[in-house]
């Protein structure tokens, strides 16, 4: 039984607390009790005190993912609650939100309660269900939002499908605001994307694949922002992928519309050219766009027009991807590789380290109303120990997710989560760290 965790001489970084210093951090009974130079000097040595030598390492607030597909119930061969939470912990996530496009769809209190109970029993990263906006995600009848919220849902989305009807969207925004739940939209005008396989552009023409034009996202975002303004409700755009969405969000925010947005690591890193060669690993919805979209998304994350990064972790089986492009399932995994990939963009100067940390901690917490992980005395200890120098290669065999579907396999990255701590408990530990600590 461990009573205390001690991180000695670690670089603790929490932009919100104005903290970036080499300090000792002491965790006792689930909370951070001391932060400061030599703060650990009078902690007695004991079998019940776990000491981490933090030299050269960083201590960061634990990460929050607004957008993960855990696939349970119904698609447990792709992922289940247990495997998703293990992947999340290995990626440094202390909270993840689970999208409802399962089988059956999470449009009910029963499924929401099931997910909450199963995740609690697993006892690691915490899981927060997102309930469906409409029954069966069919876009017609609203779900029992109060029931979903009471059972533990922190937001509502028909992700994977767009709420196409303006009337349904209007009612959804009005009802959800009574329960202070954000409406999370998958913005895709399905009439414009029927049969689409990838972004509409020169690559789709060359490959002979039907294209998904940017405007199919932009028209929905424009309409939704008008509805959000009209209803004064909270609207969150899932996986923004276009320059047009950025422009619309910027304008809406400047006029005080209560809109927020997320962007995925893959939309910040890849373009439609990565699909050349019929790369099914790069088939994703919304599709990978063009360099100027990527540039706009990076700038929007940097200046806060886009609030946060969300993984859209979408595990699929081998045969879902090892097939003809038009039969392949869209999606990529992301939980275990998000942080090092995004640190790469910080190192390239795309956005600052403090903006990155905010976009994976405080910003998503605010959107779904979770307490933000912080590094300050008395805060609940939800932390990650991170080695900024560790170099490793992303390999399928080492991934805890059942899904191995990522185009980043084989990519060399720098930076590794060594340990993840939830309410003072070490829920994940990389093997090297285990060997190096006492």
Catalytic residues: 312
Q: How far is the CB of 263 from ligand DOR (least distance, A)?
A: 14
Establish if 106 lies at the interface with ligand DOR (CB under 6 A): no
- In this complex, which beta carbon is closest to ligand DOR, that of residue 297 or of residue 343? 297
Cβ neighbours around 348 below 10 Å, total: 9
Cβ neighbors of 99 (< 8 A, separation 6 or more) are: 67, 68, 69, 70, 130, 157, 159, 160
Q: Per-residue string for binding with ligand DOR, 244-283, x by CB under 6 A?
A: ----------------------------------------
Residues that contact ligand DOR, how many (by CB under 6 A): 10
Give the β-pairing of 31-36 and 19-28: antiparallel
The binder of ligand DOR chosen from 82, 83, 101, 231 (CB under 6 A): 101
The binder of ligand DOR chosen from 265, 330, 403, 415 (CB under 6 A): 330
Q: In the complex, which residue's CB is closest to ligand DOR?
A: 331
Q: How far is the CB of 340 from ligand DOR (least distance, A)?
A: 21
Helices 353-360 and 291-303 pack at an angle, to 10 degrees, of: 90
DSSP conformation letters of 258-275: -EEEEE-HHHHH--GGGG
3-class DSSP assignment, residue 234: coil
Q: How far is the CB of 405 from ligand DOR (least distance, A)?
A: 9
Q: How far is the CB of 315 from ligand DOR (least distance, A)?
A: 8
- In this complex, which beta carbon is closest to ligand DOR, that of residue 35 or of residue 281? 281
- In this complex, which beta carbon is closest to ligand DOR, that of residue 204 or of residue 231? 204
Helices 353-360 and 338-347 pack at an angle, to 10 degrees, of: 150
Longest dimension (CA), the chain: 68
**Two structure tokens written together for 12:** 């603790």
Site for ligand DOR in 177-206 (CB under 6 A): 186
Q: How far is the CB of 285 from ligand DOR (least distance, A)?
A: 4
Q: Per-residue string for binding with ligand DOR, 26-45, x by CB under 6 A?
A: --------------------
- In this complex, which beta carbon is closest to ligand DOR, that of residue 112 or of residue 420? 112
What is the distance between the alpha carbons of residues 422 and 314, in angstroms, rounded to a whole number? 24
Establish if 314 lies at the interface with ligand DOR (CB under 6 A): yes
Closest residue by Cα to residue 163 from 221, 212, 117: 221
Q: How far is the CB of 332 from ligand DOR (least distance, A)?
A: 7
Helices marked H in 232-337 — which ranges? Answer: 243-254, 265-269, 291-303, 318-321
Angle at 220 between CA 260 and CA 178, to 5 degrees: 50
Site for ligand DOR in 67-86 (CB under 6 A): 69
What is the distance between the alpha carbons of residues 245 and 210, in angstroms, rounded to a whole number? 22
The single-letter DSSP state of residue 103 is S
Q: How far is the CB of 329 from ligand DOR (least distance, A)?
A: 6
Establish if 284 lies at the interface with ligand DOR (CB under 6 A): yes
- Dihedral sign for Cα 157, 161, 162, 166, please: negative
Cβ neighbours around 14 below 10 Å, total: 24
- In this complex, which beta carbon is closest to ligand DOR, that of residue 171 or of residue 285? 285
Site for ligand DOR in 137-176 (CB under 6 A): 159-160
Contact indicator for 417, 92 with CB cutoff of 8 Å? yes
Q: How far is the CB of 186 from ligand DOR (least distance, A)?
A: 5
- In this complex, which beta carbon is closest to ligand DOR, that of residue 305 or of residue 311? 311
Q: Which residue has the tokens 């081998």?
A: 318
Site for ligand DOR in 369-428 (CB under 6 A): none
Based on its alpha-carbon atoms, the radius of gyration of the chain, rounded to whole angstroms, reads 21
- In this complex, which beta carbon is closest to ligand DOR, that of residue 260 or of residue 285? 285
- In this complex, which beta carbon is closest to ligand DOR, that of residue 184 or of residue 301? 184
φ, ψ for residue 256, nearest 5 deg: 85, 10
Establish if 220 lies at the interface with ligand DOR (CB under 6 A): no
Establish if 331 lies at the interface with ligand DOR (CB under 6 A): yes
- In this complex, which beta carbon is closest to ligand DOR, that of residue 189 or of residue 358? 189
The binder of ligand DOR chosen from 171, 197, 285, 401 (CB under 6 A): 285
Q: How far is the CB of 330 from ligand DOR (least distance, A)?
A: 4
CA dihedral 269, 273, 279, 285 (to 10 degrees): 60
Strand segments, DSSP code E, in 303-375 are 308-309
H helix or E strand, kind and range, residue 26: strand 19-28
3-class DSSP assignment, residue 278: coil
Q: Which residues bind ligand DOR (CB under 6 A)?
A: 69, 101, 159-160, 186, 284-285, 314, 330-331
């Amino acid at each position: 039984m461990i009573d205390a965790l001690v991180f000695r001489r670690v670089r603790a970084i929490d932009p919100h607390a104005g903290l970036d210093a080499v300090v000792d951090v002491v965790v006792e009974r689930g909370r951070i009790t001391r932060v400061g130079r030599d703060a650990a000097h009078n902690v007695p040595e004991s079998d019940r005190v776990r000491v981490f030598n933090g030299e050269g390492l960083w201590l960061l607030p634990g990460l929050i993912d607004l957008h993960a597909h855990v696939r349970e119930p119904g698609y447990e061969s792709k992922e289940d609650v247990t495997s998703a939470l293990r992947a999340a912990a290995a990626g440094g996530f202390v909270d993840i939100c689970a999208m409802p496009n399962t089988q059956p769809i999470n449009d009910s209190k029963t499924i929401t309660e099931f997910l909450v109970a199963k995740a609690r029993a697993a006892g690691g990263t915490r899981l927060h269900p997102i309930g469906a906006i409409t029954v069966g995600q069919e876009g017609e009848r609203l779900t029992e939002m109060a029931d979903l919220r009471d059972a533990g849902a922190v937001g509502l989305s028909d992700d994977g499908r767009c709420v196409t009807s303006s009337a349904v969207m209007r009612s959804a925004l009005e009802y959800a605001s009574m329960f202070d739940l954000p409406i999370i939209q998958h913005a895709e005008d399905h009439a414009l994307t029927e049969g689409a396989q990838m972004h509409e552009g020169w690559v789709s023409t060359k490959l002979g694949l039907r294209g998904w034009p940017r405007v199919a996202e932009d028209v929905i975002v424009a309409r939704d922002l008008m509805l959000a303004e009209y209803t004064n409700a909270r609207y969150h755009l899932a996986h923004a992928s276009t320059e047009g969405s950025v422009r619309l969000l910027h304008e809406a925010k400047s006029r005080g519309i209560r809109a927020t947005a997320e962007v995925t690591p893959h939309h910040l890193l890849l373009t439609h050219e990565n699909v050349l060669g019929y790369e099914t690993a790069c088939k994703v919805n919304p599709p990978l766009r063009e360099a100027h979209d990527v540039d706009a998304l990076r700038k929007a994350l940097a200046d806060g027009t886009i609030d946060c990064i969300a993984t859209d972790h979408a595990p699929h089986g081998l045969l879902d991807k090892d097939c003809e492009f038009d039969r392949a399932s869209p999606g990529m995994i992301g939980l275990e590789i998000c942080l090092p990939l995004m640190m790469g963009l910080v190192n390239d100067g795309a956005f600052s380290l403090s903006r990155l940390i905010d976009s994976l901690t405080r910003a998503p917490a605010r959107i779904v109303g979770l307490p933000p992980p912080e590094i300050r005395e008395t805060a609940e200890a939800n932390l990650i120990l991170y080695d900024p120098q560790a170099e490793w290669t992303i390999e399928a065999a080492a991934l805890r997710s059942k899904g191995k579907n990522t185009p980043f396999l084989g990519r060399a990255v720098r930076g590794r989560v060594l340990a993840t701590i939830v309410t003072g408990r070490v829920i994940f530990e990389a093997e090297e760290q285990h060997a190096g600590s006492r």
